Structure 1
Amino acid sequence: MVTCLSKAMLCRAVVSCWEPFLRLALMAVFVSSSLGCPARCECSAQSKSVMCHRKRLLSIPDGIPIETRILDLSKNKLPAVNPDDFSSYPQLEELDLSGNIISHVEPGAFNSLLSLHSLSLRGNRIKLIPLGVFTSLANLTLLDISDNKIVILLDYMFQDLHNLNSLEVGDNDLVYISHRAFSGLLGLETLALERCNLTAVPTEALSHLPNLVSLHMRHLDIAALQPYSFKKLFRLRHLEIDSWPSLDAIPSNALHGLNLTTLSVTSTNLSAFPYQALRHMPYLTHLNLSFSRIRQVEGGLLRELVRLQEIHLVRAQLVSIEPYAFQGIRWLRVLNVSHNHLDTLERAAFQAPEALQKLLIDSNPLVCDCRLMWLLQRRHSIAFGDTQPECSTTEGVHGRPFREFKESLLSYYMTCTKPRIQENRTQTVFVDEGRPVRLPCTAEGTPRPMVSWVTPRRRLLTSKNSGRFMVHANGTLEIQVLEAHDSGVYLCVASNAAGNDTLMASLVVRSLGTRDRSLYANRTSQLSTDPSNATANATNLYNMTFGLDLKTILVSTAMGCFTFLGVVLFCFLLLFVWSRGKGKHKSNIDIEYVPRSKSDGGSTDGAEQAGPHRFNMKMI
Structure 2
Amino acid sequence: MKECVLLVFLALCSAKPLFRPSYMTLKNMMLKDMEDEGDGDGDVDNSLFPTREPINSFFPFDLSPTCPFGCQCYSRVVHCSDLGLSSVPSNIPLDTRMVDLQNNKIKEIKENDFKGLTSLYALILNNNKLTKIHPKAFQTTKKLRRLYLSHNQLNEIPLNLPKSLAELRIHDNKVKKIQKETFKGMNALHVLEMSANPLDNNGIEPGAFEGLTVFHVRIAEAKLTSIPKELPSTLLELHLDYNKISNVELEDFKRYKDLQRLGLGNNRITDIENGSLANIPRIREIHLEHNKLKKIPSGLQELKYLQIIFLHSNSITKVGVNDFCPTVPKMKKSLYSAISLFQNPMKYWEIQPATFRCVLSRLSVQLGNFRK
TM range (shorter): 0.7 to 0.9
Structure-1 separation of matches of 2:80 and 2:291: 42
| Counterpart residue type for residue 69 of structure 2 | A
Structure-1 separation of matches of 2:266 and 2:176: 21
Please list, as runs of the form range in 1=range in 2, the aligned pairs for 1:389-538 lying within 5 A after superposition: none
Structure-1 separation of matches of 2:352 and 2:258: 35
Name whichever of 221-230 and 298-307 sits farther off: 298-307
Q: Does 1:289 align with 2:311?
A: yes
Q: Does 1:253 align with 2:275?
A: yes
Checking the alignment, whether the CA contact within 8 Å between 1:295 and 1:318 is kept in structure 2 is: yes
Q: Does 1:172 align with 2:197?
A: yes
Which structure dedicates a bigger proportion of its chain to helix? 1
Cα deviation code 1:305-326 (max 9, x no counterpart): 8323221223334422422552
Structure-1 separation of matches of 2:254 and 2:110: 39
1:69/1:319 Cα in 2 relative to 1: closer, same or farther (>3 Å)? same
Please list, as runs of the form range in 1=range in 2, the aligned pairs for 1:7-406 lying within 5 A after superposition: 22-23=26-27, 26-27=55-56, 31-32=63-64, 36-44=66-74, 47-129=75-157, 132-134=159-161, 137-175=162-200, 176-186=203-213, 188-203=214-229, 205-206=230-231, 209-244=232-267, 246-259=268-281, 260-274=283-297, 276-304=298-326, 306-310=333-337, 311-320=339-348, 321-323=350-352, 325-326=354-355, 329=358, 331=360, 334-341=363-370
Structure-2 separation of matches of 1:141 and 1:75: 23
| Bigger Rg over Cα | 1
1:327/1:69 Cα in 2 relative to 1: closer, same or farther (>3 Å)? closer
1:194 alignment partner, SS class: coil
Structure-2 separation of matches of 1:14 and 1:328: 77
1:107 offset after TM fit, Å?
2.1
| Counterpart residue type for residue 235 of structure 2 | L
Checking the alignment, whether the CA contact within 8 Å between 1:304 and 1:328 is kept in structure 2 is: no
Residue 36 of structure 2 corresponds to which residue in structure 1?
Answer: none
1:232/1:336 Cα in 2 relative to 1: closer, same or farther (>3 Å)? same
Structure-2 separation of matches of 1:211 and 1:289: 26
1:113 offset after TM fit, Å?
0.9
Structure-1 separation of matches of 2:308 and 2:168: 28
| Counterpart residue type for residue 54 of structure 1 | D
1:243 offset after TM fit, Å?
0.7
1:216 offset after TM fit, Å?
1.0
Residue 40 of structure 2 corresponds to which residue in structure 1?
Answer: none
Checking the alignment, whether the CA contact within 8 Å between 1:30 and 1:67 is kept in structure 2 is: no
Checking the alignment, whether the CA contact within 8 Å between 1:68 and 1:91 is kept in structure 2 is: yes
Checking the alignment, whether the CA contact within 8 Å between 1:189 and 1:213 is kept in structure 2 is: yes
| Counterpart residue type for residue 26 of structure 2 | L
Name whichever of 92-101 and 278-287 sits farther off: 278-287
1:302 offset after TM fit, Å?
2.9
Cα deviation code 1:385-439 (max 9, x no counterpart): xxxxxxxxxxxxxxxxxxxxxxxxxxxxxxxxxxxxxxxxxxxxxxxxxxxxxxx
1:93 offset after TM fit, Å?
0.8
1:122 offset after TM fit, Å?
0.6
Q: Give the % identical residues.
A: 25
1:21 offset after TM fit, Å?
5.3
1:249 offset after TM fit, Å?
2.0
Please list, as runs of the form range in 1=range in 2, the aligned pairs for 1:578-617 lying within 5 A after superposition: none
Structure-2 separation of matches of 1:67 and 1:327: 58
Residue 359 of structure 1 corresponds to which residue in structure 2?
Answer: none
| Counterpart residue type for residue 222 of structure 2 | C
1:165/1:219 Cα in 2 relative to 1: closer, same or farther (>3 Å)? same
Cα deviation code 1:422-471 (max 9, x no counterpart): xxxxxxxxxxxxxxxxxxxxxxxxxxxxxxxxxxxxxxxxxxxxxxxxxx
Checking the alignment, whether the CA contact within 8 Å between 1:82 and 1:106 is kept in structure 2 is: yes
Checking the alignment, whether the CA contact within 8 Å between 2:90 and 2:113 is kept in structure 1 is: no
TM-score, normalised to structure 1, is 0.47
Checking the alignment, whether the CA contact within 8 Å between 2:301 and 2:322 is kept in structure 1 is: no
1:211/1:20 Cα in 2 relative to 1: closer, same or farther (>3 Å)? farther
1:295 offset after TM fit, Å?
2.8
Residue 8 of structure 2 corresponds to which residue in structure 1?
Answer: none
1:97 offset after TM fit, Å?
0.9
1:326 alignment partner, SS class: helix
Cα deviation code 1:478-512 (max 9, x no counterpart): xxxxxxxxxxxxxxxxxxxxxxxxxxxxxxxxxxx
1:300 offset after TM fit, Å?
2.9
Residue 5 of structure 2 corresponds to which residue in structure 1?
Answer: none
1:23 offset after TM fit, Å?
4.3
Checking the alignment, whether the CA contact within 8 Å between 1:105 and 1:133 is kept in structure 2 is: no
1:147 alignment partner, SS class: coil
1:267/1:18 Cα in 2 relative to 1: closer, same or farther (>3 Å)? farther
1:100 offset after TM fit, Å?
1.1
Structure-2 separation of matches of 1:326 and 1:338: 13
1:300/1:41 Cα in 2 relative to 1: closer, same or farther (>3 Å)? same
Checking the alignment, whether the CA contact within 8 Å between 1:314 and 1:337 is kept in structure 2 is: yes
1:20 offset after TM fit, Å?
8.1
1:223/1:301 Cα in 2 relative to 1: closer, same or farther (>3 Å)? closer
Residue 500 of structure 1 corresponds to which residue in structure 2?
Answer: none
CA RMSD of aligned residues (A): 2.7
1:337/1:318 Cα in 2 relative to 1: closer, same or farther (>3 Å)? farther
Checking the alignment, whether the CA contact within 8 Å between 2:100 and 2:125 is kept in structure 1 is: yes
Which structure dedicates a bigger proportion of its chain to strand? 1
Structure-1 separation of matches of 2:163 and 2:23: 38
Residue 545 of structure 1 corresponds to which residue in structure 2?
Answer: none
2:271 alignment partner, SS class: coil
TM-score, normalised to structure 2, is 0.77
